[in-house]
Amino acid sequence: MPHSDDIKVPHPRYSRQILFSGIGSKGQSRVVDSRVAVVGCGALGAMQASLLVRAGVGTLRIIDRDFVEESNLQRQILFDEEDVQAVLPKAIAAEKKLQAANSLVKVEGIVEDVNASSVDKLLSGFDLIVDASDNFDVRFLVNDFSVKNRVPWIYGACVGSYGLTFPIMPGEGPCLRCLFESAHSAGVSASCDTAGIIGPVVAVVAAMQVAEALKMLSGVHENISRKIATIDMWNNRYQSIDLPLPQPDCPCCARHEFSFLDGSLGTDVTTLCGRNSIQIRRRGGTNIDLNNLAQKLAPLGRLEQNRFLLRAAIDGYQLAVFPDGRAIIYGTDDPAIGRSLYARYIGN
């Protein structure tokens, strides 16, 4: 075959993705120009970030407030035993490994708590936000940011063998507050720290989120899912249901009340001076069923309960939880750790 200068040789790194007709070289160059933020670097975030960095996004920011722990290794594929020994922040450990996987991508690991005061700084300037958070306060905050700034985001959650994901496209479909009440009943929803989780469900949810991300980033709008996908890998149930229409009276996407951004809803964290403790209060008043919470926490530590409060000793911390959803966490004066423990053990 005569050599022709007209034949463009694709970059071998992305050749298989370019060969895929859904993306092609045009789609790939869009992916390469894109900026994606991943909120959370637990199991979902680690998997999403790996796939996105390998797919060649231009910039990937991954934000997380926690450190790598031994119990993460079962499913959080970016981390290893050295990270546990070094007590590395997840975002830092992730950045190092992601950068080694693809030096063409600008990887930013940010060790921060995503909250009403930090969200603008952390998420501004990105084309897409991928949810890998572990609680509804952060998701509602991301939702407010997304609707206000018209940036799409992709919801993802899993616990046990169950997972759930759907994309949120501001202006084109419902937002998170069209789908869920903001005052989510704390203490009712299970978390991986109370109900456990298996790795495969994480891999599937993260993969579905990144597939949607690649469609959005490569500009294949018509293929973006308009469905809620739910999977239960232990009980073999896989469902896909249409996203509902936006609620005409939605406080967020219809009335543009960004209550989580302005701090009128969400979590209020106060350091109790000199007591090595944190108080966490949910704005908007969410009552909590202490009996239900006690059942959830019983396998995890020592509990004491009366009709005023539930006290739990878990992981070297003492948690005192009150029926109005308020909690005092003894053993730390770091608000980020307090939020993290609240999300893990009390509810989200």
For Zn ion, the binding residues (CB under 5 A) are 175, 177-178, 250, 252-253
User: Shortest Cβ distance from residue 255 to Zn ion (Å)?
Assistant: 9
User: Shortest Cβ distance from residue 96 to Zn ion (Å)?
Assistant: 38
User: Shortest Cβ distance from residue 232 to Zn ion (Å)?
Assistant: 27
User: Shortest Cβ distance from residue 182 to Zn ion (Å)?
Assistant: 10
User: Shortest Cβ distance from residue 68 to Zn ion (Å)?
Assistant: 36
Looking at beta carbons only, is 266 or 325 nearer to Zn ion?
A: 266
Dist CA 114 CA 135 (whole Å): 11
CB-based contacts of 193, cutoff 8 Å, min separation 6: 300, 344, 345
Is the Cα torsion angle 142, 143, 148, 149 positive or negative in sign? positive
What is the three-state SS of 182-193? CCCCCCCCCCHH
Looking at beta carbons only, is 260 or 317 nearer to Zn ion?
A: 260
Return the number of other C-beta atoms located less than 10 Å from residue 96's C-beta.
Answer: 14
Looking at beta carbons only, is 225 or 287 nearer to Zn ion?
A: 225
Looking at beta carbons only, is 91 or 252 nearer to Zn ion?
A: 252
User: Pick from 46, 259, 72: which is nearest to 147 by CA?
Assistant: 259
Looking at beta carbons only, is 94 or 250 nearer to Zn ion?
A: 250
Yes or no: say if 51 and 156 are a contact pair by the CB < 8 Å rule: no
User: Pick from 88, 122, 92: which is nearest to 109 by CA?
Assistant: 92
